[in-house]
Amino acid sequence: MHPNNETHQFEPLSPHGLQPIRYLIPTASTLENYDGRGTRAHEWIGCLTTPQSKCHGPITEGRLWGLDSGAFTGKFVESRWLTYVSRMQEYASTCLFVVVPDVWADAEQSLRLFETYAPQLSGSGLPLAYAVQDGAENLPLPPCDAIFIGGTNEWRSSQAVPQLIDAAKARGVGVHLGRVNSRQRVIDAHGMGIDSVDGTYVAFRSVKRGVHEIGEWLDAAQAQTLQGRLF
């Protein structure tokens, strides 16, 4: 059972497991004319926003989006986060997830925070994401709409992550992976059955170049997975 009973954007995988992966970028720039020449960004590129950045331009354009709490950067302020979550409820129909505050690399404290905040947002109409951190494979998976894979690089490379993905998929829960900034990592994530990723690639590549290249990554991931399924 999900905390919210609305229709959300994490749809079940197709019979061949070929659902495209989404890539969320932190930008306030338009994605409907990202290069100034009338070019629309790839349909599976969306927006990752936070109470600090308020990058919601693409959200008003109808793009898929996620909301992070800012806890990873140490900028989480409870009142600001709750106010921003409330503000974003009008865009619930295109929301992939709202990450409930967590503590980086600390699974037990992250679970306690989820159990504290999730009931407060249960009537928001927004899908809630539980941030899994180092050691989460040893704890129960709470009722949630998605899991957000955080944690240290070492832990993210361990067998714990595939186990958590399998557990989430068994419940029909979406899976998001943070800190993905290369073509190969997008391809690998798609092959693992991850539904969406985010990264800061456009921050150092520029929106114009970054959005174009990320679109190519998404097509490459889809094509490679399709080839692997057929042969």
For residue range 94-111, list pLDDT tens digits in order. 999 999 999 999 999 999
Kindly list the structural domains of the chain, giving each domain's residue range(s) and its CATH number in brackets, ordered by start: 22-230 (3.20.20.70)
Nearest to 160 by CA among 190, 191, 130, 137: 137
For residue range 166-191, list pLDDT tens digits in order. 999 999 999 999 999 999 999 999 99
Nearest to 147 by CA among 82, 79, 100, 77: 100
pLDDT for position 9:
53
Residue 35 above 70 pLDDT? Answer: yes
For the chain, give the percent of residues with pLDDT over 70: 90
State how far the Cα of 41 lies from the Cα of 219, in Å rounded to an integer.
Answer: 12
Handedness of CA 102, 108, 113, 114 (dihedral sign): positive
State how far the Cα of 97 lies from the Cα of 198, in Å rounded to an integer.
Answer: 12
Q: Which conformational region is residue 89 in: left (phi greater than 0), alpha (psi within -120 to 50 degrees), or beta? A: alpha
State how far the Cα of 204 lies from the Cα of 121, in Å rounded to an integer.
Answer: 34
Residue 215 above 60 pLDDT? Answer: yes
Residue 28, both tokens: 């306030």
pTM of the model: 0.90
Angle CA 20–26–27, to nearest 5: 105
pLDDT for position 2:
39
Please report which confidence band the pLDDT of residue 56 belongs to, taking 50, 70 and 90 as the band edges.
confident
Residue 201 contacts residue 181 (beta carbons within 8 Å)? yes
Residue 115 above 70 pLDDT? Answer: yes
Strand partners of residue 97 = 66
pLDDT for position 74:
82
Please report which confidence band the pLDDT of residue 230 belongs to, taking 50, 70 and 90 as the band edges.
very low
State how far the Cα of 9 lies from the Cα of 44, in Å rounded to an integer.
Answer: 12
SS3 at position 109:
helix
State how far the Cα of 181 lies from the Cα of 221, in Å rounded to an integer.
Answer: 14
Distances (CA, A) of 21 to 13, 119, 222: 11, 29, 8
